[in-house]
A and B are shown apart, each in its own frame.
Chain A
Amino acid sequence: MLKISADKLNDLFDAISAKQTLYIPVDREAGSAEYKKYESGMEMSRGLNTVRSAKDFFFPQTENLADFKMNGKNIEVIDIREESEDFVIFGVRACDARSFTILDKVFLAEPVDSYYKNRRDHGTVVTMACTRPAETCFCTTFGIDPTAPEGDAAVFSDGENYFFKANNEKGQAFIDSISDMLQDGDTEKLEKIQENTREIMKKLPLANLSTDSFGGERLMEHFSSEKWAELSESCLGCGTCTFVCPTCQCYDIRDFDTGNGIKRFRCWDSCMYSDFTKMAHGNSRNSQLERFRQRFMHKLVYFPANNNGEFGCVGCGRCLSKCPISMNIVKVMKALEVK
Chain B
Amino acid sequence: MQETIIKRAKELLADGTVNRVIGWKRGEFVYDITPAVFETAEEIDAEFVFDDFTQANVSKYLIKESRKEGKILAFLKPCDTYSFNQLVKEHRINRENVYVIGIPGGPKLDIEKIKAKGITGILDVKNENYTLKIKTLYGEETMPFYEAISGKCADCKSKKHVVYDELIGEDGDVLESNRFDMVEKLENMTAQERYDFWRGELSKCIRCNACRNVCPACTCENCVFDNPSSGVSNKAAADSFEENMFHIIRAFHVAGRCTDCGECSRVCPQNIPLHLLNRKFIKDINSLYGEYQAGADTTSKAPLNDYNTDDCEPSIVHERGVE
Contact = CB atoms under 8 A, between A and B. Distances in A.
Do A and B touch (CB < 8 Å)? Answer: yes
Contacts of A309: none
A239 B112 contact: no
Given A51-B270, A205-B123, A244-B269, A62 B236 contact: yes
Interface residues of B, number: 48
A35 to B, nearest CB: 12
Contacts of B121: 132-135, 200, 204
Interface string B200-237: 00001011111011100000000000101000011111
A275 B233 CA distance: 10
B44 to A, nearest CB: 14
Contacts of B237: 61-62, 267
A237 B213 contact: yes
B47 to A, nearest CB: 11
Contacts, number: 143
Given A205-B123, A237-B213, A256-B234, A135 B269 contact: no
Contacts of A28: 271
A237 B223 CA distance: 13
B238 A30 contact: no
A237 B214 CA distance: 9
Contact of A268 (B29, B235, B266): B235
A160 interface: no
Interface residue SS majority, chain B = loop
Nearest to B205: A61
Contacts of B154: none
Given A322-B269, A326-B27, A31 B34 contact: no
Nearest to A201: B137
A85 interface: no
B132 interface: no
Interface string B244-286: 0000000000000000000000110111000000000000000
Interface of A: 28-32, 34, 46-48, 51-52, 61-62, 132-136, 200, 203-206, 233-234, 236-240, 242-244, 252, 254, 256, 258, 263, 265, 267-270, 273-275, 320-322, 324-328, 330-331
Given A236-B210, A238-B209, A268-B207, 19 more contacts: A31-B117, A32-B112, A46-B118, A61-B237, A133-B137, A134-B121, A200-B121, A233-B36, A238-B267, A239-B206, A240-B208, A256-B239, A267-B234, A268-B236, A275-B233, A320-B29, A321-B115, A325-B56, A326-B34
10 contacts: A236-B214, A239-B209, A243-B206, A267-B234, A267-B235, A274-B226, A320-B28, A324-B214, A324-B266, A326-B32
